[in-house]
Structure 1
């Protein structure tokens, strides 16, 4: 079995979390695989899941266009050299001439169901590869039943049914933060002990509805000046409106809106679990990993019931419509400080933590092993 990990992005977000989690889950099952990886990611993945056998790809695969060329021309040779019968391509694209030996992961159906959430180029590219994978690949995997349903509805008949493998959460990283971790996070970001905040974590792109969240928070702050500041963490995608709002705000301690950019992985549980609320008003998710990570970190989560998110949150998170006024109203209710509101919040957080514990990378890996066989 060869896993192609060369699609790990430079920021090691997104698909990198999936690849690292899957390899860790396979190791927990005592399943060893071969992994091809870009040289820059070799030490990181080897530290994450050291029991596997790692092979460096050419250094020039750090260029995305050249990596796609290598995938078609060089990866088949790697498959032969390691003696693997099956290849796992974990991010849509795969060597077409070896499709019958390849398992492909399709993370998202929104290239079909919500094309306006992506650039036109991404829509054309990922629609084409999704259709090819479903027609040609040995098997396809998706992270949620909602994604499979959307693919079946919009992307044509597959060669065989797409398998659901829910993602997991790394409980070594995402768990309720300690008091020391919260003090360190506040100190690192210019906050005093006891300061509260509202958190958003994710790529800044249209489907995440950040302009609506910012408008909701602005209105709530105008009505109730004691509203905690909104702290946004994550990289810029292609949402020009949200980008302009965040760049204008900058990162100024004490301001009602702050853009923190990328946060180190070791800060995320404090950022999420220490917040008064994590707000993730996305309208299109293949799974909703930020919601799961927030639940595992002890956060009170406000999100939407669009696509896959209810498979993750169940009845342990609060749902809202993804527009400014409903977000404002729901957030105001969550931030209320009456005894009944505090008790309801504690109950949601406890139930969310128990639910999050059921999403493990070992369980995800078990589904993959079944498909690999």
Structure 2
């Protein structure tokens, strides 16, 4: 079976969960022995793809200046169509949402929908309607749609009335690195105990709600720091909210780095706190469970589907409930150890091998 993934996401993300999903899926499809798999992204600036062993004629651009994007995008699209017409895949798997079609003749079109965040929380995004319109176009023309969670599948049915027969669910997985011990030269040490926040923090990610809830833990907050991995430096607004609620600014620490650094952070944290109001899947809780880090998470959207019985839950719109959940974990070594044990069991249910097998089954039904 000949399978091609298009170039869209690799000119949108230098780093990111979607590009990592595509690369991981493509590599496991190729390893299955059932698929001749290519990622067709002639020009890109994505680090996951740069290191991918999947075939394809590609040029990695270390940086992509905004003024050059249109030219690079147009050139990549032209070269992608040439390569796709030469390869003639039986499955064309679109990696994001566009009104432009890259499907060669006779190829079945598959689309992955990650979430419906632009539709449910349009006010949180500039020009959300553009993304939503392109997504609807891509959804309508797809022969089949892969959803990364049951929650996303339900949203597509409820918001857009997509027929259930057109939808399948394949869960994602954490990379195997998070099952390992940190290596010494990236081992992260922090003098004080800390809770960990991973990823972007704006709007629906609910970091401001977390700061209010954490600040209310009078018996704990003075002795525990907050380390934010990724998502950009701590903003003046975040500093203002923290200070207003009684946190010292030096308690908010921003750290960036690679997966080894993140692995080390998971190993040292009292817990990962994941206050997001909405997620299509939520990879950080799965990574934390793999690494043996307790998970304290919102009870909304797909997160209970991923975390199962291995998390301490709270309502994300209730600061007091979030604070109570954090207190139950941070004040109890016994509860933290229980969550670590449950998390490792839960994490074992998700794998890229399983995701690839389920995706291959979908492809085979279409050809």
2:259 counterpart (253, 265, 279):
265
Q: Kindly provide the CA deviation profile for residues 235-275 of structure 1, in whole angstroms up to 9, marking residues without a partner as x.
A: 249xxxx733346689xx99221222x32221111112320
| 8 Å contact kept, 1:198–1:228 | yes
CA root-mean-square deviation: 3.1
CA apart distance, 1:80: 0.3
Distance in 1, matches of 2:219 and 2:41, equals: 51
Aligned partner of residue 33 in structure 1, secondary structure: strand
1:227 counterpart (207, 223, 226):
223
Q: Which residue of 1 aligns with 2:114?
A: 107
Query: What are the equivalent positions in structure 2 for 1:120-131 lying under 5 Å apart?
Result: 120-121=126-127, 123-131=128-136
Aligned pair in 2 of structure 1 residues 215, 65: CA closer, same or farther (>3 Å)?
farther
| 8 Å contact kept, 1:42–1:54 | no
Q: Which residue of 1 aligns with 2:322?
A: 327
Q: Kindly provide the CA deviation profile for residues 283-315 of structure 1, in whole angstroms up to 9, marking residues without a partner as x.
A: 110111111111111111111121111111001
Distance in 1, matches of 2:222 and 2:62, equals: 52
Distance in 1, matches of 2:235 and 2:222, equals: 26
Q: Kindly provide the CA deviation profile for residues 113-170 of structure 1, in whole angstroms up to 9, marking residues without a partner as x.
A: 2323x3141x212211221122111221110011010011102335952211100111
CA apart distance, 1:371: 2.4
Aligned partner of residue 150 in structure 1, secondary structure: helix
Query: What are the equivalent positions in structure 2 for 1:128-207 lying under 5 Å apart?
Result: 128-158=133-163, 160-171=165-176, 173-175=177-179, 177-178=181-182, 180=184, 184-186=187-189, 191-192=190-191, 195-207=192-204
Q: Which residue of 2 aligns with 1:119?
A: 125
Aligned partner of residue 279 in structure 1, secondary structure: strand
Distance in 1, matches of 2:74 and 2:51, equals: 28
Q: Kindly provide the CA deviation profile for residues 296-339 of structure 1, in whole angstroms up to 9, marking residues without a partner as x.
A: 11111111121111111001111101132222221111111xxx
Q: Which residue of 2 aligns with 1:301?
A: 295
Aligned pair in 2 of structure 1 residues 33, 324: CA closer, same or farther (>3 Å)?
same
How many residue pairs get matched? 349
Q: Which residue of 2 aligns with 1:356?
A: 347
Distance in 1, matches of 2:47 and 2:15, equals: 13
| 8 Å contact kept, 2:212–2:319 | yes
Higher relative contact order (CA 8 A, sep 6+): 1
Aligned pair in 2 of structure 1 residues 180, 149: CA closer, same or farther (>3 Å)?
same
Distance in 1, matches of 2:43 and 2:101, equals: 24
CA apart distance, 1:203: 1.3
Aligned partner of residue 294 in structure 1, secondary structure: helix
TM-score relative to the length of structure 2: 0.84
Distance in 2, matches of 1:159 and 1:98, equals: 24
Distance in 2, matches of 1:45 and 1:366, equals: 21
Distance in 1, matches of 2:94 and 2:164, equals: 17
Distance in 2, matches of 1:26 and 1:160, equals: 23
1:33 aligns with 2:29: no
Aligned partner of residue 235 in structure 1, secondary structure: coil
TM-score relative to the length of structure 1: 0.83
